[in-house]
């Protein structure tokens, strides 16, 4: 069990891809490392063991994440981690995005769900190579899962890689995958109080996308209050509003992606310092 969030370890994870995995050189002999701890006894009380195990889990995950980021940087692959609660519209937004961006550059997708290939089938129909990661009882993707997915997906140089994380506003926020940018998607039907209820998710976001704005006349969602709460948690974050179904606001989303095509200087510096 993962001490950080309580989900099961990688034993139940399934990687369902389009091709046989290819061994990438991510650095080091890490093929048998796993980011989930397995209950080391540090000789302390139960509370101390839990804290130490959490630190161990996240430290191992961060090591995988740095290696992923280094490999993505070397391949000139832009990686975007898309996170939201279930039903916010991640897959619909990705379908529209694939159909638009595929004409400009290669687009690949890693789909994270506990079960089924439903979302992966939708993305494949939209025209993008996709790998499905089923986490079983797990409530998030981690950096080791992404590494395995990358080995199978093998994104070409210059590609845009989208990672659709498991639908959850809690645990995905804790795990760095090695992505360049984090995008949090929220639909107006979920209510405007989510930034205050789930601050960790919004604290780490580079962009917050408010979806389903075509339903604003029918729900109690005050955009000004929502924006105030988001910026009180994360003053630097960018905020966009759109309707993935109707297409309203999508040009601004595409422009954001094009504008962030090259990793920023601080990310490049971090990659260069990767052990």
C-alpha–C-alpha distance, residues 31 and 25, integer Å? 10
What integer pLDDT is reported at residue 53 of this predicted model? 59
Backbone dihedral region for residue 219 (phi beyond 0: left; psi -120 to 50: alpha; all else: beta): beta
Residue 129 near residue 109 (C-beta atoms within 8 A): yes
Question: Domains of the chain by range and CATH?
Answer: 55-251 (3.40.50.300)
- The pLDDT tens digits along the chain (275 residues) read 454 565 655 556 777 765 433 444 444 444 434 344 434 344 445 556 656 656 777 889 999 999 999 999 999 999 999 999 999 999 999 999 999 999 999 999 999 998 889 999 999 999 999 999 998 888 899 999 999 999 999 999 999 999 999 999 999 999 999 999 999 999 999 999 999 999 999 999 999 999 999 999 999 999 999 999 999 999 999 999 999 999 999 999 999 999 997 544 333 434 444 44
Exposed (0-12), middle (13-18) or buried (19+): which is 26, by Cβ within 10 Å?
middle
> Who contacts 185 (Cβ-Cβ below 8 Å, separation ≥6)?
82, 83, 84, 88, 89, 90, 93, 208, 209, 211
What integer pLDDT is reported at residue 198 of this predicted model? 97
What integer pLDDT is reported at residue 58 of this predicted model? 84
What integer pLDDT is reported at residue 47 of this predicted model? 55
What integer pLDDT is reported at residue 234 of this predicted model? 98
Q: Among residues 158, 149, 153, 90, which one has the least CA distance to residue 122?
A: 90
C-alpha–C-alpha distance, residues 163 and 268, integer Å? 20
239 bridge partner residues: 208
C-alpha–C-alpha distance, residues 114 and 119, integer Å? 11
Phi, psi of 159 (to 5 degrees): -80, 160
Exposed (0-12), middle (13-18) or buried (19+): which is 223, by Cβ within 10 Å?
middle
What integer pLDDT is reported at residue 8 of this predicted model? 52
């Amino acid at each position: 069990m993962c001490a950080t969030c309580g989900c099961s370890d990688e034993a139940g994870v399934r990687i369902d891809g389009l091709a046989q995995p290819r061994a990438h050189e991510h650095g080091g002999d890490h093929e048998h490392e796993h980011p989930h701890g397995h209950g080391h006894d540090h000789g302390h009380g139960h509370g101390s063991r839990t804290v130490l195990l959490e630190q161990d889990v996240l430290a191992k995950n961060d090591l995988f994440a740095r290696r992923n980021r280094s490999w993505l940087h070397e391949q000139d692959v832009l990686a975007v981690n898309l996170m939201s609660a279930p039903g916010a519209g991640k897959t619909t937004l990705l379908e529209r995005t694939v159909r638009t961006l595929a004409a400009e550059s290669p687009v690949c997708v890693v789909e994270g769900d506990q079960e089924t290939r439903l979302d992966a089938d939708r993305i494949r129909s939209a025209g993008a190579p996709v790998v499905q990661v089923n986490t079983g009882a797990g409530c998030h993707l981690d950096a080791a899962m992404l590494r395995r997915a990358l080995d199978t997906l093998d994104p070409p140089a210059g590609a845009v890689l989208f990672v659709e994380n498991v639908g959850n506003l809690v645990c995905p926020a804790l795990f760095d995958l090695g992505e360049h940018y984090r995008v949090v998607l929220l639909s107006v039907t979920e209510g405007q109080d989510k930034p205050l209820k789930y601050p960790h998710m919004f604290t780490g976001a580079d962009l917050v996308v408010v979806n389903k704005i075509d339903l604003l006349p029918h729900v109690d969602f005050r955009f000004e209050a929502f924006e105030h709460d988001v910026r009180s948690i994360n003053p630097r974050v960018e905020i966009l509003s759109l309707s993935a179904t109707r297409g309203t606001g999508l040009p601004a989303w595409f422009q954001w992606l094009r504008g962030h095509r090259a990793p920023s200087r601080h990310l490049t510096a971090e990659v260069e310092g990767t052990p």
